[in-house]
Amino acid sequence: MDVSELAKKLDLSDSKLVVRKAAEIRRLCDVQFDSSVIGVGEVAKSLICLEIAATRLGVLFDRSSAVRLSGMSEKAYIRSYNSLHNGLGVKTKIDVRELAIQFGCVRIIPFVRDGLKLYKDRFVSSLPASRRASADFTRPVFTAVAFYLCAKKHKLKVDKLKLIELCGTSESEFSSVSVTMKDLCHDVFGVAKEKKDAREVQSNRDLLDALPSKRKAEDGGYLSDDGPELSCYKKRKQMETRDYEKWKSSVVASNQHNKKEAPCKRTKQSRLNFIKKSSDTQELEAIRALHFNFPVNHHQRVVYWIYSGIYVVLGSFAESYRLHSKQEEDQKNLVSKGAVVKGVLLQQLVQAVVATLLFALTGSDSQNTTSQNTSLLVLARQFVTAMLVMDAWQYFMHRYMHHNKFLYKHIHSLHHRLIVPYSYGALYNHPVEGLLNDTVGGALSFLVSGMSPRASIFFFSFATIKTVDDHCGLLIPGNLFHIFFKNNSAYHDVHHQLYGNKYNFSQPFFIMWDRILGTYMPYTLEEREGGGFETKPCKDYKDD
């Protein structure tokens, strides 16, 4: 296959200089030797020529794609590349300064240069006079080994396998040069106790030869795919395995030594708080958030029935504090008490289901799934914010349901069947109204205030108690809600009467929206014959 066609597949067709240089290197291969003899096919030869050209010109080359196109394994491709690279005599230039910058070892640059110079002098002096002129130290393996040994002496971390890949040699050849350099330059690298005679170090004389055919198999001249050398990835895995086994054996030996010294002593395992949560912890947090995140949960349902039950008991004994008599309660209301109980239970069930569905869609991403330690000042600010948001939402939604004839007739009129309201009828609404008014309003107040789920339990329990109190139909002296809030049972009783149907929409805390927007109806409390109180509008509103 032609070099230009392979360049297109490797996205190098735009680099005309690389293609031209690769074609030149391939022609040099054909002239100098037959690459098929050393196990390199025509396609692989073109790919290797492209890589050599790209490397020399500083162009990024995708070796993994080249290996795939060659049809060879990574190990065979690397060996073929090294053999062809060395056979052509193409020198890979490795500069000490560039290596130091790449590996972060700038301070060892002068030591590397001095050690490499000393190694060359001592090695050449040991050679016969006839061979000294042909000694070639331009191969990058010598520079790489000198750099690695200097870094090791100064206790600097250098990736040996990456260094081997950069100089285009094999691990065995790198090790051989390393042994020779350590033996001859003990005073520079400081790894040997005494100096050795260079003439006795003859194991690497063939490293100076130009052609790889003159080198032994362990020095990188063996090109078969069945050779013992592994890929860089497998080498790394083997090194990691050896390090792990070494660490494991040291730990086991240490434990055995400790057991021998103190066989009766029992150790306690300390608890570790990991930042990353396990799947079980995340599931627990999700369940906890589901339990807390929405206002309609079982806490509010329990509070609702307990508190309304207290008012039922008080109403049977405190006739003198009622706003309507028991007879009016039975005659004026348009729905039975049994139907009210069923309606409230249905309303609470629908809200619980909707809250669960809403959490399933949005609750898992909530940032408030864990309890937070907040100061009383922050907690008070959150409560006031939530009260204002809930009041604003429920005022405008409540008022709109009164002015929209369709919504009032089919939805909100269900609540106004209680002309004489009582405690456990506070949540007697149409399910749609409960969703729009209570669930959405509660969720908004929770999100805007930024309170934690634990704090929301107290807030929504408080809001539930206040709603029940507004519908209880009793004016008991000393009631704190009547002292601190103008929006009380008498205020809301006016709204449930026919003359106040278009007034007093505010609920459940403040009355500011009625005063600001002109829907406030002033009223008076008068004693009723037979005991109790009665709310009456002021004179200006009687004609309305």
Residue pair 288/369 in contact (Cβ under 8 Å)? The answer is yes
Whether pLDDT at 168 is above 50? yes
Domain 96-192 has CATH 3.40.50.720: no
**Average confidence (pLDDT) over 483-496:** 86
> How far from chain centre, in Å, is Cα 227?
45
Q: Quick one: DSSP state of residue 268?
A: -
Whether pLDDT at 202 is above 60? no
The overall average pLDDT reported for the chain is 76
Q: Where in the chain is the domain with CATH 1.10.472.10?
A: 96-192
Q: Which two tokens stand for residue 285?
A: 């947090």
Whether pLDDT at 277 is above 60? no
pLDDT tens per residue across span 105-127: 888 888 888 888 888 888 888 88
pLDDT tens per residue across span 39-83: 677 888 888 888 888 877 878 888 888 888 888 888 788 778 777
Q: Which CATH architecture has domain 3-88?
A: Orthogonal Bundle (1.10)
Q: Which residues have C-beta within 8 Å of that of residue 456, sequence separation ≥ 6?
A: 292, 293, 295, 446
pLDDT of residue 275: 45
pLDDT of residue 261: 60
Q: Which residues have C-beta within 8 Å of that of residue 322, sequence separation ≥ 6?
A: 315, 473, 474, 531, 532, 533
Q: Which two tokens stand for residue 256?
A: 């055995």
More confident position, 430 or 131:
430
pLDDT of residue 94: 73
Residue pair 396/516 in contact (Cβ under 8 Å)? The answer is no
Alpha helices (H) along 262-375: 279-292, 298-317, 326-332, 337-362
Worst-scoring range by mean pLDDT, 23-32, 148-157, 161-170, 187-196? 187-196
Whether pLDDT at 312 is above 50? yes
**Average confidence (pLDDT) over 313-318:** 76
More confident position, 477 or 384:
384
Q: How confident is the model at residue 269 (pLDDT cuts 50, 70, 90)?
A: low
If you count them, how many residues does the chain have? 544
Whether pLDDT at 532 is above 50? yes
Q: How confident is the model at residue 492 (pLDDT cuts 50, 70, 90)?
A: confident
> How far from chain centre, in Å, is Cα 475?
55
pLDDT of residue 72: 85
More confident position, 169 or 327:
327
Most confidently modeled of 209-218, 346-355, 504-513? 504-513
Angle (nearest 5°) at CA 247 between 244 and 253: 140
More confident position, 200 or 87:
87
pLDDT of residue 384: 93
pLDDT of residue 385: 93
Peptide bond into 431 cis (omega under 30): no
Whether pLDDT at 219 is above 60? no
